[in-house]
Chains A and B, each alone.
Chain A
Amino acid sequence: MRTVEEIVSSVFGVERDTVDDNSSPASVEGWDSMGHVNLVAALEQAFNVSIDIDDVMEMGDVQKIKKILLAYGVRS
């Protein structure tokens, strides 16, 4: 199973080792409004989940994404 960091790296085309728990739209180039939607779609596909819109809105950084995914039964 891929990690959230790997998916962020793949969606935004950045080096894997530059992505950590603090990575967010402020630090990752391309993580804008459209990029966020693409990231959510990639997470849904990778982990076979359907993410609620409330959670989509709260995915402010990698750490929050992991916490939210945990509630969907995804340990990433």
Chain B
Amino acid sequence: MSEAPSVTKESYAVRLYEPELAEACDRFSQKVWPKSDDRDGGGASTRDTGAAPPRILFLKGDEVIGHVATVPVRLAVGGRLVNASWAVGLMVLPEHRNGPVAPLLMKKFNRAVEIGLTLHVEQSALRVFKGVGWRHLGVIPQYVRVLNARAFVTTFARRGCEVLSGRWSRLGTALARVSGPVAALVSFAFAGLSAIGAVRRRTAADATVEEERGFDTSYTKLAERVKDQLAVWVFRDEPYLTARYGRRMEAYRLLACRRQGQLLGYCLVKLRRFENDPRIGDIRMGTIVDCVFDPAESGVLDALLASAIALCRREGIDVVFCTASLRKLGQRLRCHAFVRMPATLNVAFHDRTGTIGENLPLDSWHLMRSDSDADANC
């Protein structure tokens, strides 16, 4: 195969991050994430050295024009722990988005990381991932439980009028006019679903759910106990949880289910009040971002979900969301009057080791909003 020196003047390169590129990375981050406190795009600090996770940069001369970072995790695959990395912060400067920057970044990523995972909503990103050999698992189901039907209906009717067009806009206008009766219907429907679901809910004998502030070794013991009961999931031991949530714990509420001190399961809920948000207007939203439970302990998951809903009610939350791939979790959410709604969070992976079976369905994976950086906007 013959090679020739470049005949063009610009000098491009795809490189792993090195400390000498820190200033160029900072300039890039300021351009693409100007309002973010964390300008690393979810990856390692630009100032990190030594064993920092790989970040891949696309350089034009001395300037960064494209970037993807890695977030290393340990993945439990059929109970076996393997190293993997989330691909986060895939970003290309707008003026270079029609070129091959993103695919070339991801090709380098494939060479740098043995098992890569991604959660993302953009179809353009999905095309790039699939184009460089990633397997698209599907879209993670999303569930909603309405607690305040009036707020829910008025918010979404008003937003519908503003953002929709044609007959959908007229429908939004009509809905806004009759929001009172519609809210009553929605409220009645969710109360009915809850009553039906209550028949199928189980109780966890002698177990109690209480709010906790941080993580201890019992979280590692729970992870060890359940790791081979889930086909594929990010292994959430104490160090992982502390690194993932520790710095930002004030944004989450941790509910733990214990029996005689033994941790049987936990969930993390993120509460947020939106004001004049372009997508969802003014609404108080709760999101169950993470949930780990011992599948052998009947009733634990029901106890956790009931406690999460009760917490959201106490905090005046209007609507609770949960994004969950695991079939069992979806089934239990429905018992708590959660309704499946259109979802957008795509999952894809790339495995050079062949550890993850090609035919494992998405509903056997345990993926939630807390995985990767997918809970940043909820």
Interface residues on B, range: 20 to 34
Question: Which of A13-64 touch B at CB < 8 Å?
Answer: 25, 32-34, 36-38, 40, 44, 48-50, 52-58
Q: For A7, what are the chain B residues with a Cβ–Cβ distance below 8 Å?
A: none
Q: Is B353 an interface residue (CB 8 A)?
A: no
Q: Report B127 CB to chain A, min CB distance, Å.
A: 6
- Give every chain B residue within 8 A of A25 (Cβ-Cβ): 98
Question: Residue A68 at the B interface, CB < 8 A?
Answer: yes
B60, B98, B102 interface centre (most CB from chain A within 10 Å): B98
| Given known A-B contacts A49-B2, A73-B2, A68 and B7 have beta carbons under 8 A apart | yes
Shortest Cβ gap from B123 to chain A (Å):
12
Contact with A along B80-109 (1 / 0, CB 8 A): 000000000000000001111111100100
B100 near A57 with CB under 8 A, answer: yes
CB nearest neighbor in B for A44: B1
Name the CB-closest residue of A to B3: A50
Interchain CB contact under 8 A, B8 and A49:
no
A24 to B14, CA, bound (A): 24
A1 to chain B, nearest CB (A): 14
Chain B residues whose C-beta falls within 8 Å of the C-beta of A34 in the assembled complex: 100, 102-103, 127-128, 131-132
Among A53, A67, A68, residue most surrounded by chain B Cβ atoms (within 10 Å): A53
A16, B60: Cα distance in complex, Å = 34
Q: Are B100 and A52 in contact (CB under 8 A)?
A: no
Q: Which residues of B contact A48 (CB under 8 A)?
A: 1-2
CB contacts (< 8 Å) of B7 on chain A: these are 55, 67-68, 71
Distance (whole angstroms) from the CB of A3 to the closest CB of chain B? 18
Question: What residues on A are CB-neighbors of B11 within 8 Å?
Answer: 54
B4-A72 in contact (CB<8A): yes
The digit string for B1-45, where 1 denotes a CB below 8 A from any CB of A, is: 111111110111110000000000000000000000000000000
B99 contacts across to A, CB distance below 8 A: 33, 36, 57
Please judge, given known A-B contacts A33-B99, A33-B102, whether A53 and B4 are in contact too, CB under 8 Å.
no
Residues of A within 8 A of B103 (CB): 33-34, 36-37
**Known contacts being A37-B103, A52-B3, is A57 close to B98, with CB within 8 Å?**
no
Partner of B6, one of A32, A36, A40, A55: A55
B1 / chain A contacts, CB cutoff of 8 Å: 44, 48-50
Tell me the bound Cα distance from A56 to B100 in angstroms: 8
Interface residues of B in 200-252 (CB under 8 A from A): none
Residues of A within 8 A of B98 (CB): 25, 32-33
Nearest residue (CB) in B for A49 is B2
B12 / chain A contacts, CB cutoff of 8 Å: 53-54, 56-57
Q: Out of A44, A50, A55, A73, which one reaches B8, CB within 8 Å?
A: A55
Tell which of A33, A53, A67 has the most Cβ of chain B within 10 Å: A33
B63 to chain A, nearest CB (A): 13
Judge whether B104 and A73 touch: CB under 8 Å.
no
- B135-191 at interface with A (beta carbon < 8 Å): none
The 7 A-B pairs of least Cβ separation, nearest first, read A34-B131, A54-B6, A71-B7, A37-B103, A58-B8, A36-B100, A72-B4
Other than the given A37-B104, A53-B12, 18 more pairs (CB < 8 A) read A32-B127, A33-B97, A33-B101, A34-B103, A36-B100, A37-B100, A37-B132, A40-B100, A48-B1, A49-B1, A50-B1, A52-B5, A54-B8, A55-B6, A57-B8, A67-B7, A73-B2, A73-B4
Can you list 19 residue pairs at the A/B interface with Cβ under 8 Å? A34-B100, A34-B102, A34-B128, A36-B99, A36-B100, A37-B104, A44-B1, A50-B1, A50-B2, A52-B5, A52-B6, A53-B12, A53-B104, A54-B6, A55-B6, A56-B12, A56-B104, A73-B2, A73-B4
